[in-house]
Amino acid sequence: MKQGIHPEYHQVVFMDSSTGYKFISGSTKNSSETIEWEDGNTYPLVRVEISSDSHPFYTGKQKFSKADGRVDRFNKKYGFTNK
């Protein structure tokens, strides 16, 4: 591996802006904000809009719509029914 061409990889705390959920992970992302984590160390804080704590797929609040085929949509649009 060449020296001096790779970004610095370090521990970062990510915080979900909508729920306040925080988790620590390795990242190359930098931030001017810092936070003291549960282990007593200070880490950079990166705010994110969506995490697994607020995403509809993971929280079970996602709405599914029935995906009809082209023929079904055509028949529905023009009032044809299967008899």
- The per-residue pLDDT for range 23-79, each reduced to its tens digit, is 999 999 999 999 999 999 999 999 988 887 877 666 666 565 666 678 777 888 888
Among residues 21, 15, 8, 20, the alpha carbon closest in space to that of 33 is found at: 15
Return the beta strands (E) in the chain as ranges. Answer: 10-16, 22-27, 34-36, 42-48
At position 39, the amino acid (one-letter code) is D
pTM of the full structure? 0.64
At position 80, the amino acid (one-letter code) is F
